[in-house]
Structure 1
Amino acid sequence: MRVLLTGSSGWLGRFLAPMLRHAGHTVTGLDVAPGAFTDTIGSVADRALIDRLFSERRIEAVIHSGALHKPDIARYPAQAFIDVNVSGTLNVLEAAIAHRAKGMVFTSTTSLMISTAIREARAAEAVWIDETLAPLEPRNIYGVTKLAAEQLCRLFHAEHGLPVLVLRTARFFPEDDDTHRSLAGENMKANEFLHRRLTVEDAAAAHIVALERMAEIGTGTFIVSAPTPFARDETAALKYDAAAVIAHHFPDAAALYATRGWTLPATIDRVYDARRAEQLLGFRAQTDFAAILRALRDGLPLPFTHDADYISPIITQ
């Protein structure tokens, strides 16, 4: 298919574009910043540009991953998030209908599911997070605008029959966490594969699967994260003695971590359950916590990227 990929210069886009081409798709990359896979510099907030690309490139499908993200809150005003994340999504959806596209895959985020109460770990046990979690109370402008964009996707499917699959991706950014500094970046990322992270390669692969199945499925929202080893009946123990639960599943984890001077989490406050994506979408992330331990055990490179100096593309127009 002829695919419009928004956000083609971003961390996901630089992995997703070559995967799409390898799968036989023709890719038009759109981003606000230059990149190896970006054909057009511009914003999804520019409706005329979106229409022109659909017309000139005869776009058949969209992977809409272009957005302002949580770290951008410190760089851009709230209105920019409305313009890009909400109005930009509306522009792409309307163009898809006008130009009779076959459907869209929308890159969303698990962040919009995390309320202030969840973020501050107020619950007596780890919060089990799947697609049924409600009510959704995003804690910042990023989450609010991504949730609004999801609702636009739902509306366009309901009103126009446009196939739209929403992927709520867990963390896959390469840089350090901008709010938590208690652990070294690689240690923190490794820990998160237990309950809230995936590799960028797996995130990209999920989009390929969604693109290929969107017409068949029609609509749906899916959490995309590394498969957790935990069960729902372990949530209380995870909150108060995560080390014991981890040791039950991975008896040598503590010793393997010690070889790096790493620390396992003493408490886990949330767990992302990605089983719906596996059962209905047919996607399961390849890299999980067991893969991290295999790399430590066998002296292999870690199966994820950590780049403390990474900065997401900056708006140039």
Structure 2
Amino acid sequence: MKLLLTGSSGWLGRHLAPRLEAIGHKVIGLDIAPGDHTDIVGTVADRTLIDKTFRGHGIEAVIHAGALHKPDIVRYPNSAFVDVNVTGTLNLLEAAVQAGHDRFIFTSTTSLMISETVRAGREGGAEQAFWLDEEFGPLKPRNIYGVTKISAEHLCRLFHKLHGINVAVLRTGRFFPEDDDTLIMPSGPNLKANEFLNRRLTVEDAAEAHVVALNGIADLGFETFILSAPTPFGRTDCAQLIANAPAVIARYYPEAKALYDKKGWILPDHIDRIYDAGKAERLLGFRSKTDFASILAALAEEREPPFHHDPHYLSPKEAL
């Protein structure tokens, strides 16, 4: 299949493109920044470029992974988020429908589910962790990134309703390699390791989820999926996760504290949100390979943790 992959120079795109090619797809990469997997340098906001790309390459399906992200808020005006995240998605949906496509994969974000109330967590008075699945709501994004991504999701839903195109909206948890831009403690790999309990997955798993969705969405219509490492917790744990997360973690992973102590790491004293990725497993048969148990196994064997960490990572578009 000839696929248009937007965001092909980005962190996800550089892992997803070779995976798609390895299973026989022809990938046409489009990104604002040059890259090893980028054939067309330009923006999805340019409708003329999108139409030219579809005509010139015989595009048969779209994986729309390109976007401005949360860290870009300090770099770009609100209008740029609307242009790229909303108008760009509209351009691609219209072109896909005109070309007669039967499927469309849209990379969204769990960030749009995090209102100020959810973000405040225990400090805001929450008495239990928020259980975030696809039915969670009402959704009240807290910044322009979340607002434009949820707007793009609504466009995807509308185009399915009007034109029957099958759409998979993939709300990905965290998989970026750089340090968190707001949290100070713990930092680096320790924070990433902790997040595999409730809100992170590897970029390799994120890429594989897109591959699975490309095939799996064909007969499903419109569906939204949360992507994250499988959490060990259940809804009945939510109150204690706010009050005493280490005690809950110890029930599931008795070895965790000793392994963390040896590494000089700390476990979270509370967990305020849980991403439930169960729907992707039920409907698509997708389950992330790397989970918190994988982290502990690496620590026990004194191997490097099975995720990427690069505090100096810079988005390719920022290096232009």
Q: Which residue of 1 aligns with 2:65?
A: 65
Q: Tell me the SS of whatever aligns to 2:288.
A: coil
1:166 aligned onto 2:169 = yes
- Whether the 8 Å contact between 2:105 and 2:167 is mirrored in structure 1 is yes
Q: Which residue of 2 aligns with 1:281?
A: 284
Which amino acid in the other structure matches residue 116 of structure 1?
A: E
Counterparts of residues 289-300 of structure 1 (less than 5 Å):
289-300=292-303
Q: Which residue of 2 aligns with 1:10?
A: 10
Q: Which residue of 2 aligns with 1:195?
A: 198
Q: Tell me the SS of whatever aligns to 2:263.
A: coil
Which amino acid in the other structure matches residue 234 of structure 1?
A: D
Q: Tell me the SS of whatever aligns to 1:133.
A: coil
The 10-residue stretch of structure 1 (210-219 or 187-196) with the greater mean CA deviation from structure 2: 210-219
Give the superposition deviation at 1:184: 2.2
Q: Which residue of 2 aligns with 1:145?
A: 148
Q: Which residue of 1 aligns with 2:218?
A: 215
Give the superposition deviation at 1:212: 1.0
Q: Which residue of 2 aligns with 1:96?
A: 96
Deviations 1:230-277 (A, max 9, x none): 010000000010000000000010000111100000000000000011
Any gaps of 5 or more consecutive residues in structure 2? none
Which amino acid in the other structure matches residue 85 of structure 1?
A: N
The 10-residue stretch of structure 1 (97-106 or 127-136) with the greater mean CA deviation from structure 2: 97-106
Give the superposition deviation at 1:291: 0.1
Give the superposition deviation at 1:102: 2.7
1:155 aligned onto 2:158 = yes
Q: Which residue of 2 aligns with 1:83?
A: 83
- Whether the 8 Å contact between 1:131 and 1:223 is mirrored in structure 2 is yes
Q: CA separation in 2, counterparts of 1:219 and 1:20? A: 22
1:180 aligned onto 2:183 = yes
Deviations 1:210-241 (A, max 9, x none): 00112121210000000000010000000010
- Whether the 8 Å contact between 2:159 and 2:165 is mirrored in structure 1 is yes
- Whether the 8 Å contact between 1:32 and 1:316 is mirrored in structure 2 is no
Give the superposition deviation at 1:144: 0.3
Deviations 1:273-312 (A, max 9, x none): 0001100121100000000000000112210000000111
Taking every aligned residue pair, what percent have the same amino acid on both sides?
62
Any gaps of 5 or more consecutive residues in structure 1? none
Give the superposition deviation at 1:98: 1.1
Q: CA separation in 2, counterparts of 1:103 and 1:249? A: 39
Q: Tell me the SS of whatever aligns to 2:3.
A: strand
Q: Tell me the SS of whatever aligns to 1:227.
A: coil
The one of 201, 204, 209 equivalent to 1:206 is: 209
Which amino acid in the other structure matches residue 192 of structure 1?
A: E
- Whether the 8 Å contact between 1:32 and 1:315 is mirrored in structure 2 is no
Give the superposition deviation at 1:194: 0.2
- Whether the 8 Å contact between 1:193 and 1:228 is mirrored in structure 2 is yes
Q: CA separation in 1, counterparts of 2:23 and 2:222? A: 22
Q: Which residue of 1 aligns with 2:37?
A: 37
Runs of 4+ in 1 over 3 A off after TM superposition: none
Deviations 1:89-111 (A, max 9, x none): 00000000111123210000000
Q: CA separation in 2, counterparts of 1:315 and 1:212? A: 33
Q: Tell me the SS of whatever aligns to 2:316.
A: coil
Give the superposition deviation at 1:183: 1.1
Q: CA separation in 2, counterparts of 1:150 and 1:184? A: 32
Deviations 1:119-149 (A, max 9, x none): 0113211000000001000000000000000
- Whether the 8 Å contact between 2:180 and 2:187 is mirrored in structure 1 is no
Deviations 1:162-219 (A, max 9, x none): 1111000000000000000111210000000000000000000000000011212121
TM-score, normalising length from structure 2? 0.98
Aligned residues: 317
Q: Which residue of 1 aligns with 2:273?
A: 270
